[in-house]
Amino acid sequence: MGNIKEVRGKIHDFLVEGDYEPLEEFLLEVHYADLAEILRTFELDERVELLRHLDRERAAQVLSELDRDEITPLLKGLGRKASAQILQEMPTDDAADLLGELPEDEQERYLRLMSDPEAEDVAELLEYGAETAGGIMTTEFVAVNKELTTDEAIQVVRRTAQEAETVYYVYVVNDQNQLVGVVSLREMILAAPGARIEEIMRTGPIRVNVGTDREEVARVVAKYDFLAVPVVNDDEQLLGIVTVDDVLDVIEEEATEDYLRLASVHQERYLELSVVQRARRRLPWLMALLFGAVLAGSVVQFYEDTLAGVVALAFFMPVIAGGPGNVGTQTMAVMVRGLATGEVDARRVTRVIFKEIQVGMIVGGVSGLVLAGIAALWLDSALLGLVVGTSLAAAMTTATAIGTLFPLLISRLGVDPALASGPFITTVMDVISLMIYFTVATLIFFRFIG
3-state secondary structure string across 13-44: HHHHHCCHHHHHHHHCCCCHHHHHHHHCCCCH
Does pTM surpass 0.75? no
pLDDT at 229: 94
pLDDT at 296: 63
Do residues 143 and 172 lie in contact, with contact meaning Cβ atoms separated by under 8 Å? yes
pLDDT at 309: 57
Do residues 132 and 231 lie in contact, with contact meaning Cβ atoms separated by under 8 Å? no
d(CA 202, CA 172): 9
Residues 46-97 pLDDT 10s = 999 999 988 888 888 888 788 777 888 888 888 888 888 888 888 787 788 7
Enumerate the domain spans of the chain.
Answer: 1-127, 141-243, 275-449
HSE-CB at 388 with a 13 A cutoff on CA atoms is 28
Do residues 38 and 8 lie in contact, with contact meaning Cβ atoms separated by under 8 Å? yes
275-449 has the same fold as 1-127: no
Q: Which fold has domain 1-127?
A: MgtE N-terminal fold (1.25.60)
| Burial category of 274 from C-beta neighbours within 10 Å (exposed 0-12, middle 13-18, buried 19 and up) | exposed
| Burial category of 362 from C-beta neighbours within 10 Å (exposed 0-12, middle 13-18, buried 19 and up) | middle
Kindly tell me if the per-residue pLDDT of 330 is higher than 90.
no
Contacts of 152 by beta carbon, 8 Å cutoff, 6+ apart: 144
- Angle formed by the axes of helices 104-113 and 80-87, nearest 10°: 70
CATH architecture, range 141-243: Roll (3.10)
Contacts of 163 by beta carbon, 8 Å cutoff, 6+ apart: 140
pLDDT at 58: 87
Domain 275-449 sits in CATH at: 1.10.357.20
Residues 366-399 pLDDT 10s = 999 999 999 888 878 888 889 999 999 999 999 8
Do residues 427 and 292 lie in contact, with contact meaning Cβ atoms separated by under 8 Å? yes
Lowest-pLDDT choice from 175-184, 207-216, 368-377, 403-412? 403-412
Lowest-pLDDT choice from 116-120, 130-134, 201-205? 116-120
- Cα–Cα distances (Å) from 126 to 97, 108, 131, 231, 370, in that order, read 8, 11, 12, 15, 59
Residues 394-426 pLDDT 10s = 999 998 988 888 888 877 777 666 655 556 677
